[in-house]
Amino acid sequence: MKYDFYARTPQERRTRIISAQQVLFKRILRDLTFTSAVEIGPGFGGFAHYCRARGVDYFAAEENEQLAMDLRGEGFSIIKDALNESPLKKSSDLLFMSHVIEHFPSWQDATSNLKGVCARHLTDGGHIVLLFPDVSWSPRSFYYDYTHSFPTTLISVERMCEDLGFKTIRKGHYIGRWIYCWRFMHLLYYCLPKMLLGDSIRSRMEFTFAVHGFLVVRYMPTN
């Protein structure tokens, strides 16, 4: 199994995360219209629930066997390999990847996999939504996950997408579920007397206040 430490997260914490994600996704996707979506790496299923609540035709690819089983148990369509398995729908309006690209070994792997998934599952002119840690703002928390291999920043991911021929629609940063006051929260965190706290509490705070980037682009395939 892949990322077992993630799959062992208690259900109570999963529920809290999913609830917070609904607020975040609504803010990031606020004016996008889509009737079908494919997700790579659904994790606990926050975006799956977002789509279900809106009647969106949804399926996802998840490599972790336990997470995939959990989502299938909730009635979601889950495959294992988005590059090699046949999708339930030939094309989707939106591709969603939350905290996935930083797990690729290199930028070459990130670009080739993103191109492959888009070509296989996304309609021309469809949207791609990427969420990822911004290592330029929160370098320490990035390496708390031993599976992080490809350091990501908002500007580097945007440039990667531009080189792939994608058009940027929206971009920004967030902390937790907040995209409008993230700078204030980031400043507040650094003003806290963290040295007076224990290592475990300080580590959890670094993770909680970590800055992430989001990018919404339009898929414009190049020949």
Judge whether 47 lies within some domain.
Answer: yes
How many folded domains does the chain comprise? 1
Report DSSP state, residue 198: -
pTM of the model: 0.92
Residue 206 tokens, joined = 């670094």
Q: Spell out the residues 6+ positions from residue 212 whose beta carbon is closer than 8 angstroms to its own.
A: 99, 131, 132, 133, 134, 138, 173, 174, 175
* Burial of 10: CB neighbours in 10 Å, binned 0-12, 13-18, 19+: exposed
Domain CATH for 146: 3.40.50.150
Judge whether 223 lies within some domain.
Answer: no
pLDDT at 114 (0 to 100): 94
Judge whether 89 lies within some domain.
Answer: yes
Note the pLDDT tens digit of each residue in 30-89: 999 999 999 999 999 999 999 999 999 999 999 888 899 999 999 999 988 877 765 545
* Burial of 166: CB neighbours in 10 Å, binned 0-12, 13-18, 19+: buried
Structural domain range at position 45? 4-218
Q: Spell out the residues 6+ positions from residue 70 whose beta carbon is closer than 8 angstroms to its own.
A: 44, 45
Note the pLDDT tens digit of each residue in 3-31: 666 767 778 888 999 999 999 999 999 99
Judge whether 140 lies within some domain.
Answer: yes
Query: What's the Rg (C-alpha) of the chain?
Result: 17
Judge whether 174 lies within some domain.
Answer: yes
